[in-house]
Amino acid sequence: MFHGTLPAIITPFLTNGEIDEERLRSLIAHLIENGVNGIVPCGTTGESATLTHEEHKEVVRITVEAVNRQVPVLAGTGSNSTAETIELTRAAKKVGADGALLISPYYNKPSQEGIYRHYRTIAEEVSFPLVLYNVPGRTSLNILPETVARLSRIGEIIGIKEASADLYQISRIIDQSEEGFLILSGDDFTVLPTLAIGGTGVISVVANVAPKEMSEMVRAFFKGNLDTARELHYRLLDLMGVMFLETNPLPVKTALHLMGKCEETFRLPLCPMGEGTRTRLEATMRDYQLL
């Protein structure tokens, strides 16, 4: 169900800080028109950490409605609280999402056994396709391949978004997990090598601003057009780089603002980019003829 290119979408805000439903729907339509294979709301890129529970549920509802079954919706519903994750996952299922993306518990730093029990409990409480999300750079916690392998044997847990950018770790996950377990790259720079060792797609930041190119790269790989896939990888390289000049989602949301697709509104503690990095972002976007 979840394969190919799935943008982790921003959450557009109005200048007063409220959710900009019109821009959210417009962005989703633009991404689908440009060939993406799914939509991922309420992830890191969607500023989920500063959404209230009601806002979180509303963004997922709007996304499901706007997508209208054209592609799958993988809703971010994770938290460092198991009970909170269950609540948000149930809500996503109720409004018609196709699955849930569950970040590993952050800050409280559970053991590998605690991680296993966290995800197992969610799977027991909510019968729903669940995708693990490992991003050690954000959570200060790594889901080890052995733990992923154990979790892959639970029916509801169908895959992982692996954002460690560690190809050795990804290889071990693929080698040890159940056959058919989905491996989605969570790092734009390593999409192509991840696909080459058995990955099934990407949950992407840069696909917000270059959905067609990222989608074409992934499709070219699966069609066996490796030269085309490699060419697109290098064509996107500088654009990928500027998306991480500062903490995600600052650059990608700024880029979309410059493209006229959202307001440049963030919720504290996130704030606008510095002058130097913003200038570099704008220059690269001009090079890509995005401005």
Mean pLDDT of the chain: 97
Average pLDDT over residues 128-146: 95
Beta-strand pair 157-162/182-185: parallel
Write the pLDDT tens digit of every residue in 56-103.
999 999 999 999 999 999 999 999 999 999 999 999 999 999 999 999
H or E segment to which residue 172 belongs? helix 167-176
Residue 289 is encoded by which pair of tokens?
């003829």
Average pLDDT over residues 37-48: 97
Q: Which CATH class is domain 4-223?
A: alpha beta
Residue 42's pLDDT is 97
Distance of CA 74 to the CA centre of its chain: 9
Residue 49 has pLDDT above 90, yes or no: yes
Distances in Å between the Cα of 54 and the Cα atoms of 57, 67, 88, 133 are 5, 20, 10, 22
Write the pLDDT tens digit of every residue in 206-256.
999 999 999 999 999 999 999 999 999 999 999 999 999 999 999 999 999
Which positions are annotated as active-site residues? 133, 161
> Helix, strand, coil: what percent of the chain each, to 5?
50, 15, 40
Average pLDDT over residues 176-193: 96
Write the pLDDT tens digit of every residue in 8-29.
999 999 999 999 999 999 999 9
Q: How long, in residues, is the chain? A: 291
% of the chain surpassing 70 pLDDT? 100
The answer to whether the beta carbons of residues 57 and 24 sit under 8 Å apart is no
The answer to whether the beta carbons of residues 8 and 185 sit under 8 Å apart is no
Distance CA 19, CA 72 (A): 22
Instruction: Name the amino acid, one letter, at 280.
Output: R
Q: Could you tell me the residue ranges of all domains in the chain?
A: 4-223
Q: How confident is the model at residue 1 (pLDDT cuts 50, 70, 90)?
A: confident
What are the start-end ranges of the E strands in 40-141?
74-76, 99-103, 130-134
Distance CA 215, CA 217 (A): 5
Helices 82-94 and 53-67 meet at what angle, rounded to 10?
30
Strand partners, 161: 133, 184
pTM reported for the whole predicted model = 0.95
